[in-house]
Each structure stands twice: as C-alpha cells, then as structure tokens.
A and B are shown apart, each in its own frame.
Chain A
Amino acid sequence: MRDVYVIGVGITRFGELWERSFRDIGIEAGIKAINDSGIAGDDIDALYIGNMSAGAFINQEHIGALIVDYVGFASSSHIPAVRVEAAGASGAIAFKEAYLSIASGMHDIAVVGGAEKMTDIGDEMANAIQGMVIDQEWETVFGATYASLQAMMARAHMEKYGTTREQLGMVSVINHRHGALNPDAQFQREIKLQTVLNSGYVAEPLRVFDMAPLSDGAASLVLASGDVAKKYTDNPVKVKGIGQASDTISLHDRREICTMDATVHAAKRAYERAGAKPADIDVAEVYDSSTIAEIIAIEDLGFFDKGQGGKAVEDERIALTGEIPVNTSGGLKARGHPVGATGVAQIVEIVKQLRGEADKRQVKDARLGLAHAVGGSGATAVVSILEGSQ
C-alpha cells in the first residue's frame, strides 16, 4: 500500500447557520480545502462524503451525488462520489475510504467531505433522529434516548471507579476553554464548572452542559499520494495508520457498559499500523458526544488507565498545557457537532496542529496526532493517527 498525505483542509464555522443550506456549507468547506491544497479541480479523482441523516434532517438522500454536483464535478469530470454513513463515525470512515482508495493505487487525489444540517427541523425531532443511531427496536422504542444511554454509562463508571460529577463537568469546562481560542467553534466562550452543574437535567446524572449541541457545519480534506503531495506542498501530513472496529449496537449487549471495546480495538489496530504507542501521541481529538464519552475515550485510547480518566481531567492533564492536550478545537462540546462533519473536522484540527497552523491553541512540537470518532453509543469506532513533517 502507498503512503497517503493530507495536503488541504477546509472547515466552515459550526453553529446554528440559519442562512446557509446543506449545499452552501458542503461547498464552502470543499472549496476551502481545494484552495488550501493548491490542486486544480480537474485533478480530483473521487469524492467521499460523510453524512449521518440528511434523509431525516432535510429529506435528501443520495448525498454523494448532490455534493459532487454542487462542487462542480458531476457534469464535467463525472468523478465517482461515495456517501458513507456510520452515525458519528461517518466522516472518519469517509476519510478512511478515501485513504484506502489512494493507498491501493486506484486514485491519486481524493476529496473528503463531512457535512450535516441539523437545525432545519424542530429541536424535538432531533431527539427522535438521534434515536436512530442507537438500537431503534430494542432501545429507542422502549423509551431510551441517546443521552439516556450516555447517562447509564456515566452512572456505571461513577459506581465502578468513583468518577465524580465534578470531574465530568471539568471535561466541558476544558473543552470550552479550548473552543474560546478557535474562531470556527460554535461556542467561543469559557464557562465555569458551576454553570455545568447548575444546567438542567437531560438524563440524570447528565445535564445540558454535559452534552454536545445540535449544529450545522461542514469540513473537508484533500488527500493525495506521495508523488502528488510533493508537487503541491512542502508541509504534507502523513496518514500513519487508521483502525476501525465494531461492537454490539445496543449498549445493553456490550461486554462492559463503561468501556467502549470498539475504541480499544480500533486504537490497537491504528497504533500497530502507525508503529506507535499511546505515549507517543502529542495531541488528540476524541469523540466527546457527552462528558463521560471523553473520559471513557481517554482511557480506552490508552492515554490513562481504566478508571483514571476522571482524575486525569480533574488534574487538567488533557488541557492545552497538559501532558496530552485533548480536543484543542473545543471538541464536539464547544466546537460543535454536525454529526457527519465531526469525523472530518477532527482530522482538520489534527492536521492544523501538525502543520503548526493552530494559532492560539497550538501544541508545541506536535509531531504525532490522533483522531477518534464513535458511531452510536459505541457500536463503531475509528482511530486515525497522522504525522507532521516538521
């Protein structure tokens, strides 16, 4: 398999983008990435799009066709377009598929996009749609919501390892602190721990400020083979290894409800392929759809021992100034979470860090970065490791 590099990144502002349509944001991110890479549109061989639920949110399926048309390549170069869906891991798997298409030698340049428009329907319906990424027949129908499953993972983690309500809250505080440094983030305001602890309950013990928001947004990458990358940039970021794994769709069928085996296996595969260990990672974007999800992630990715995640957060070891900065973008919580875009947005942040372009949130000497995305309550996980050239 050939080496693959990221040579361009693009991202829209995330938030409630009332004036922008799905097409608008998809194209904006794509054009930014293509401009950033310096390639000509004609050079693109394929398009891979991550999107979770355009059918439910905007009554539109066949997203691959829609985007390739509106970025201008459907009727000119007629390139192939693939839409990937795996709930929150959609964007990450779109990235993986694009990577494979180049590594295999089939394509030389592929564009990856991730987009979601979640605010065109009422807030109430969003709960119903999120109910589709967990087990519809045996979880949702019985009254479970996505947040209620996160809440049960939190309670199990708290009862087994002594993780505290305050430690959960600190995840949100630190992510908001990072988000305040990110001009594309949905929320650019720091918050106090008391704000988290005083916010209304969503599903006990989780509160509004424990949960990632509903967002609109899009992100994009340009991937290229080694020969091509050399032509366009002297600061390419190499894809060192991607691992993906599955687990049961229902939370109740998991081996352990406060561990995501899918993350553990995906990470193992990624580290092996990258020839790296957790301690080698300089900066990470992890999937914080809720505060407990981040604590479980930093344990399952091997940054901290199982059960020690809460303490690590309390000690701010994951802050920008800590030993393993996590979610410098603000994470899903502060940067925003347009579901299909998230997996791609995470790679965009890692690439910026490894290129030294992360501005006020730059991690010093970041050389190896990791992005972690999850589908549903842990049924799918993707871990991607990238290496900077500096």
Chain B
Amino acid sequence: MPRFWREKQGRYNLVGNRCTNCGTYYFPKRDICPKCHRKSVGKMEPFRFKGTGKVVSWTIVHDPHPDYKDMRPYIMAIIELDEGPKLTAQIVDCALDEIHTGMRVRDTFRKLTEDGKDGVIFYGYKFRPVKE
C-alpha cells in the first residue's frame, strides 16, 4: 500500500516534472534527466500535465491480470500527452469499434484496483475520448 500512496500525485493529477536544463518534460517524474545526466541534478521542476493527448497505439485486452477481470475486454493504449511524454492507460467510455490510432483523449479519475475486499482502493488515471 505505501507503494501506491507514494505515487498519488502522479496517478491522481498527472504531476511529472521537467528538466530546466534542457526543457524536456517527463512523466512519471524522474530524478535525473537521461539527456543532461549530472547537469540536471537539482534542476528537475514539478510539472502538472493538462491531461489531453492522442492515441499512439492500442489493443483490446481479453486475458487480463487477475485483478482486472471485471472490466474485460478493455482497451489499453499508449497515449502521447500534448506536452510530449507518453504513458500507458486504459481507455474508457469508448466503444470497442470506435478506438483508433490518432484519437484525441483526455484523462478521467477512476478506480484502478483494490487490495482485496477489505483493503485499500487504488485510484488513478484512465482516459476517455474527447468529442471534437
């Protein structure tokens, strides 16, 4: 559970960071910029992403991790945020025949999983299509 609690700002609010040395954005946050190495130490600044982006690739999962069976079949996608970084997330509120590469999406707050019926519930981002 502390593993989840530690990441809540990333998972709830898409807070990553930016290397002020070269200007590159990162999500999730990194302690060191892979481009600037030592020059980035102490120069990484928190940054909250807008939550909008587009689908780079996608799949429909039929054989999930046991904790995710209730939503099967569900769409997983690699999403490129408008600011640059990419992440992996479920796409919800989207018909299985609607999903396509290039689709515009925005983030929404949902339950990811829970630590059993008497355990903590873990929340985080999923994405939904944006009606253009």
CB distance from B29 to the nearest CB of A (A): 11
CB distance from B67 to the nearest CB of A (A): 8
Chain B CB within 8 A of A137 CB? yes
In the complex, which residue of chain A has the Cβ closest to the Cβ of B67? A128
A interface residues, tally (CB under 8 Å): 36
Contact: B61 with A148, CB < 8 Å?
Answer: yes
With a cutoff of 8 Å between Cβ atoms, the chain B residues found around residue A252 in the complex are 56, 78-79, 86-88
The residue in B64, B79, B89 that gathers the most chain A C-beta atoms within 10 A of its C-beta is B64
B interface residues, tally (CB under 8 Å): 37
Contact: B124 with A142, CB < 8 Å?
Answer: yes
- A200–B61 CA distance with the chains assembled, in angstroms: 11
In the complex, which residue of chain A has the Cβ closest to the Cβ of B86? A252
With a cutoff of 8 Å between Cβ atoms, the chain B residues found around residue A149 in the complex are 88
Assuming A138-B88, A155-B101, A252-B88, is B57 touching A257 (CB within 8 A)?
yes
Give residues 195-227 of A contacting B (CB, 8 Å). 200-206
Contact: B62 with A143, CB < 8 Å?
Answer: no
In the complex, which residue of chain B has the Cβ closest to the Cβ of A250? B88
- A250–B27 CA distance with the chains assembled, in angstroms: 11
Assuming A138-B88, A143-B74, is B59 touching A148 (CB within 8 A)?
yes
In the complex, which residue of chain B has the Cβ closest to the Cβ of A253? B86
With a cutoff of 8 Å between Cβ atoms, the chain A residues found around residue B3 in the complex are 137
Chain B CB within 8 A of A139 CB? yes
Contact: B101 with A144, CB < 8 Å?
Answer: no
Contact: A201 with B87, CB < 8 Å?
Answer: no
Assuming A128-B66, A252-B86, is B61 touching A145 (CB within 8 A)?
yes
- A257–B87 CA distance with the chains assembled, in angstroms: 12
Give residues 41-67 of B contacting A (CB, 8 Å). 56-67
With a cutoff of 8 Å between Cβ atoms, the chain A residues found around residue B90 in the complex are 142-143
Contact: A145 with B63, CB < 8 Å?
Answer: yes
Say which residue of B28, B65, B125 sits within 8 Å of A127 (CB atoms): B65
- A251–B71 CA distance with the chains assembled, in angstroms: 23
Contact: A202 with B63, CB < 8 Å?
Answer: yes
Mark each residue of chain B from 23 to 34: 1 if its CB lies under 8 Å from any CB of chain A, else 0.
000001000000
Contact: B56 with A127, CB < 8 Å?
Answer: no
Chain B CB within 8 A of A119 CB? no
Chain A CB within 8 A of B109 CB? no
With a cutoff of 8 Å between Cβ atoms, the chain A residues found around residue B65 in the complex are 127-128, 131, 140, 143, 145
CB distance from B68 to the nearest CB of A (A): 5
- A131–B78 CA distance with the chains assembled, in angstroms: 16
- A364–B74 CA distance with the chains assembled, in angstroms: 48
- A140–B28 CA distance with the chains assembled, in angstroms: 14
Say which residue of A127, A159, A253 sits within 8 Å of B101 (CB atoms): A159
With a cutoff of 8 Å between Cβ atoms, the chain A residues found around residue B62 in the complex are 200-204
With a cutoff of 8 Å between Cβ atoms, the chain B residues found around residue A201 in the complex are 60, 62-63, 73
- A250–B90 CA distance with the chains assembled, in angstroms: 15
Contact: B63 with A152, CB < 8 Å?
Answer: no
- A135–B88 CA distance with the chains assembled, in angstroms: 10
Contact: B60 with A139, CB < 8 Å?
Answer: no
Contact: B59 with A143, CB < 8 Å?
Answer: no
Chain A CB within 8 A of B12 CB? no
- A128–B4 CA distance with the chains assembled, in angstroms: 17
Chain A CB within 8 A of B21 CB? no
With a cutoff of 8 Å between Cβ atoms, the chain B residues found around residue A131 in the complex are 65
CB distance from A11 to the nearest CB of B (A): 29
Chain B CB within 8 A of A141 CB? yes
- The 9 lowest CB-CB distance pairs between A and B, nearest first, are A151-B59, A252-B86, A152-B57, A201-B62, A204-B60, A156-B57, A124-B66, A203-B59, A252-B78
Given A125-B66, A152-B78, A257-B56, 17 extra CB contacts under 8 A: A127-B63, A127-B66, A131-B65, A141-B112, A141-B122, A143-B68, A143-B76, A143-B112, A145-B61, A148-B61, A152-B77, A201-B60, A201-B63, A203-B61, A203-B76, A204-B60, A251-B78
Residues of A within 8 A of B (CB): 124-125, 127-128, 131, 135, 137-145, 147-149, 151-153, 155-156, 159, 200-206, 250-253, 257
14 contacts between A and B (CB under 8 A): A141-B4, A141-B122, A141-B124, A143-B89, A143-B112, A144-B76, A145-B63, A148-B61, A201-B62, A202-B62, A203-B59, A205-B59, A252-B78, A253-B86
